[in-house]
Chains A and B, each alone.
Chain A
């Protein structure tokens, strides 16, 4: 028995559906944030490898600089733009005075080796690679911010790029995140400890991704759980208004800040 099925009909419809689903803004955010998450690890690994050679020339330099400044100083050094008598370029790099003093001392003491062309090429290539990665990360974060401001402004204003994109990533799509209740949003990111607690009949966690919220740091341990509950409720409202394309974030932020002040002063109504 053979079946006469018009399979082209299925293929066409599926093709349209796939494209429709994957071209949405929330999928774009999830994909970009997955890349942004992994870039710092690459930068750290590369800078560690750079230090193997760069430390021969300018030892202990990385203690007084960020990774970006370290690469910039290395590039200036191998191109002979800084010397014992010429610190002009170095001073334009916006390093704090205290650190600048230490760096100048390293250069003046002249304890490093003279670098030959092989080492020079390696340092130049690695430094430009690291600087490019840092630039890429900044660019991607700008794109994320633009996407959030265009599409999910209420959600973004209550949280930040890191938390918002992480939440979208865990939920899978914006539509699914919108349909979640506030209690689920509060625990997003703590699935492992949550299910462990259910299994062993112990206390459930108080917060997941929300622990990294900037306002959390100023609160006591007890109030952190309370604040997580409050902010999850507000995020839930914000998401629903984003779905309807309305702006209510000034009102929500005002309420949230009032509550935060109360938690800080510890004068809660019982």
Chain B
């Protein structure tokens, strides 16, 4: 996959080489939706070694710590609204060097627009909100470069209690208005009623 130095696929499991200790680290697909998508054999994985990434909804920083292993020359910005989770992510990002924390609402990108004064290559979003696609669109308008990639993990139960396939169809239709869909996968059995979409800015 893009000849990434520190991402290893062995015995049907994914590992990364830890940036700090240099040891092999197991990536759990039941805790990280990006890894679950990789295990479901998604067509494309746009992250490269010099990528600049905006991650919306980092929480305590489990997934982004693996991404920080992969992007050895790049940088990742993590946004989250919960102050308690941000305490843990703050400590992780101080240790790792290529991560930066922002404590803001991902729904209001104008609040942290002034802090980030460059365009990013990829936006990863995992916020479980009713207007997930809208949030992604707002952020991509401000931060994403031309033909940059978006990775969206969509929680259908946060949107409606109706039939999962109907909700997915509707959300993908909305997604198509702003982005070109490259591939999408259901995340069963790792995450129930979730879908992972990778798209490109038109």
Contact = CB atoms under 8 A, between A and B. Distances in A.
Which range contains the number of A residues in contact with the other chain? Answer: 10 to 19
Contacts of A7: 100
Contacts of B104: 17
A14 B82 CA distance: 11
Given A2-B73, A5-B100, A18 B52 contact: no
Given A5-B100, A10-B100, A15 B73 contact: no
Contact of B161 (A2, A3, A195): A195
A1 to B, nearest CB: 5
Interface residues of B, number: 21
Name the prevailing secondary structure of the A interface residues. Answer: helix
Contact of B103 (A3, A17, A199): A17
**What secondary structure prevails in chain B residues at the interface with A?**
mixed
Given A21-B103, A198-B161, A11 B74 contact: no
Contacts of B102: 10, 13-14
A18 B73 CA distance: 28
B115 interface: yes
Contacts of B75: 3, 5
Interface stretch (B4-12, B84-92, B124-132, B170-178): B84-92
Given A13-B115, A199-B161, A3 B100 contact: no
Interface in B61-100: 73-75, 77, 83-84, 86-87, 90, 93-94, 100
B101 interface: yes
A11 B100 contact: yes
Contacts of A21: 83, 103
Interface string A12-33: 0111011001100000000000
Given A11-B94, A15-B90, A18-B103, A1 B161 contact: no
Interface of B: 50, 52, 73-75, 77, 83-84, 86-87, 90, 93-94, 100-104, 115, 118, 161
